[in-house]
């Protein structure tokens, strides 16, 4: 079976265009909020793309659930794309947009901790194991195809168990982003974190003393100060599932879609073609640039000191492209806002560049919670001491499954 899938993936790769084949053009290339002149900044462009964490199919990992599949080849591409969009949020959170990966350089400790979150192990908080098993609560059997909305719901649930990265995940409903709800989510989550975390002041202890007592376990086993002092805003991962047409993308949405890649808060787009999920990170002209998860690699195990051979987690060939009109109409947009000022800036950009300039809006941005909607209740972490996959049965009643919004036609 793996041989058949590998042959199919190779056929996909053969027919994909390469960035090197781009025509000589004056048009800028946009990659996750950064623009490049392909004539003069090609090496910088390729370094940027190469620095994104690239998650692909893997094989020979510990069977999911103990008796399930030991490879996600053929079914896990959208889960891998979900990992990539989340990993980009974590890179922005801990390392910043200007950080670049170097093949022979010693990476920052935060980078290695981010990578550990996604290793193909049942105890990694965003592993294929955790995502596939948490998907059971969304009505998906292990080994079944996912759409972007289902992946977004899975990430939202798993993030509740992730104290180190401490993200607030908001997945929009009905093509509508509610500012009031997001601010409630980020500020309430931040207050709860202050109460629960040893990083926050408690009783008669000041913030300085609390910070001095806060230590986190690194992959190598060393202790260090809590990397994130208390704040009044929990960093936001915003995911907006959309359908931009019925069977094909409506051309009226294309300019607005491109504007999203220009925003400094951009995390890219989850989407693809029928049966093929891609992680779109930018565009040039009428073509989208993406990272392709359809390559099967052998699982990577961490070494005794916690370090990981990360060569296979960075796509070192030229990135792939596809015509924007070939995009399946169902996608999910991703954005990261590290603080409230960042979120307010994103709202302003959306109003100016997407809503005011379009007669047919890609999505709505509203100030107040719609009165005809059910009340907004921010999700809270269940009272358990481990990550979500081991508690599928106990958490089913805690999470109400969102309405299905399948993206890819399968």
What amino acid positions are annotated as catalytic residues? 77, 292, 294
CB 258 within 8 A of CB 334: no
Bridge partner residues of 127 (DSSP):
none
Helices (DSSP H) in 160-295: which residue ranges?
179-196, 207-213, 254-262
Name the one residue in this structure whose structure tokens are 């999920």.
Answer: 277
**φ, ψ for residue 244 (rounded to 5)?**
-105, 40
Strand, coil or helix: 260:
helix
CA dihedral 105, 110, 112, 113 (to 10 degrees): 180
Distance separating alpha carbons of residues 376 and 330, to the nearest angstrom: 25
Distance separating alpha carbons of residues 380 and 249, to the nearest angstrom: 36
State whether the Cα torsion 167-92-357-348 is positive or negative: positive
* Strands 364-366 vs 176-178: parallel, antiparallel or unpaired: parallel
Distance separating alpha carbons of residues 146 and 133, to the nearest angstrom: 12
Distance separating alpha carbons of residues 237 and 287, to the nearest angstrom: 26
Q: Residues of 172-201 as b/e, b for ≥16 C-beta within 10 angstroms?
A: bbeeebbeebbebbbbebbeebbeebebbe
Distance separating alpha carbons of residues 271 and 130, to the nearest angstrom: 21
- Tokens representing residue 78 in the block: 């959208």
Nearby residues of 14 by Cβ (< 8 Å), 6 or more positions away: none
């Amino acid at each position: 079976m793996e041989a058949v899938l590998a042959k199919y993936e190779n056929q996909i790769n053969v027919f994909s265009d390469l960035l090197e084949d781009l025509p000589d053009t004056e048009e800028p290339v946009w990659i996750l909020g950064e623009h490049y002149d392909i004539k003069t900044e090609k090496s910088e462009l390729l370094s940027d793309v190469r620095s994104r964490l690239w998650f692909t199919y893997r094989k020979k990992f510990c069977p999911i659930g103990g008796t399930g599949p030991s490879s996600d080849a053929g079914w896990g591409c959208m889960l891998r794309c979900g990992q990539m969009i989340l990993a980009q949020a974590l890179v922005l959170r801990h390392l910043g947009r200007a950080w670049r990966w170097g093949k022979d350089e010693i990476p920052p400790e935060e980078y290695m901790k981010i990578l550990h979150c996604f290793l193909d192990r049942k105890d990694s908080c965003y592993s294929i194991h955790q995502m596939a098993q948490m998907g059971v609560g969304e009505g998906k059997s292990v080994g079944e195809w996912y759409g972007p909305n289902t992946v977004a719901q899975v990430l939202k649930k798993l993030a509740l168990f992730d104290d180190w990265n401490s993200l607030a995940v908001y997945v929009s409903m009905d093509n509508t982003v509610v500012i009031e709800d997001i601010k409630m989510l980020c500020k309430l989550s931040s207050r709860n974190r202050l109460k629960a975390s040893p990083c926050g002041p408690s009783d008669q202890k000041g913030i300085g003393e609390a910070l001095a007592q806060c230590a986190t376990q690194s992959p190598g086993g060393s202790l260090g100060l809590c990397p994130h002092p208390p704040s009044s805003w929990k960093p936001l991962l915003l995911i907006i599932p959309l359908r931009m047409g019925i069977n094909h993308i409506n051309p009226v949405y294309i300019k607005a879609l491109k504007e999203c890649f220009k925003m400094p808060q951009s995390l890219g787009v989850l989407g693809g073609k029928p049966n093929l999920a891609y992680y779109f990170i930018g565009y040039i002209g009428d073509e989208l640039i993406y990272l392709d998860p359809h390559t099967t690699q052998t699982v990577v195990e961490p070494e005794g000191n916690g370090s990981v051979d990360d060569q296979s987690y960075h796509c070192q060939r030229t990135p792939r492209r596809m015509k924007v009109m070939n995009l399946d109409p169902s996608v999910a947009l991703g954005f990261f806002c590290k603080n409230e000022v960042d979120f307010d800036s994103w709202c302003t950009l959306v109003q100016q560049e997407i809503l005011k300039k379009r007669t047919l809006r890609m999505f709505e941005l509203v100030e107040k919670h719609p009165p005809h909607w059910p009340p907004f209740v921010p999700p809270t972490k269940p009272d358990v001491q481990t990550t979500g996959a081991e508690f599928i049965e106990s958490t089913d009643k805690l999470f109400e499954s969102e309405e299905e919004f399948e993206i890819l036609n399968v």
